[in-house]
């Protein structure tokens, strides 16, 4: 599974999983995609202004977020396959909770 995550720098703070509005006003951005289970990166894009220490921190944040998303994706896929085998339409409970939390926080 390949997960993609972004981190933006706005002013002096770094934000993981930014909104589209935050991406537009960002001073810098890091986008990472890859297979975290294999610790492989397939895409790395850095745009804008980031100091070396900010880049290191942004990469750490993006990799951590991608690892979280990979786990959610794997859980949802496993649940979906198990549900299809039993004839039920199911979604992983933690994926639903995570999705609901993002909508409330946005």
Please give the pLDDT value at position 103.
42
The answer to whether 91 and 78 have CB atoms below 8 angstroms apart is no
Confidence of residue 99 (pLDDT cuts 50, 70, 90): very low
Q: Is 39 left (phi over 0), alpha (psi -120 to 50) or beta?
A: left
pLDDT at 68 over 70: yes
How large is the average pLDDT for residues 60-74? 92
- The 3-state DSSP class for residue 5 equals strand
Residue 39 is given by DSSP the state: T
- Predicted TM-score (pTM) of the model is 0.73
- Mean pLDDT, the chain, rounded, equals 84
Cα(44)–Cα(4) distance, rounded to whole angstroms?
Answer: 10
Residue with tokens 């537009």: 24
């Amino acid at each position: 599974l390949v997960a993609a995550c972004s981190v933006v720098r706005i002013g002096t703070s770094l934000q993981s999983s930014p909104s589209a509005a935050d991406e537009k006003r960002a001073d810098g951005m890091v986008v990472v995609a890859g297979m975290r289970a294999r610790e492989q990166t397939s895409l790395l894009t850095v745009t804008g202004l980031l100091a070396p220490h900010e880049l290191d921190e942004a990469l750490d944040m993006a990799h951590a977020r991608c690892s979280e998303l990979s786990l959610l994706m794997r859980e949802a896929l496993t649940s979906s396959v198990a549900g299809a085998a039993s004839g039920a339409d199911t979604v992983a409970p933690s994926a639903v909770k995570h999705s609901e939390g993002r909508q409330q926080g946005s």
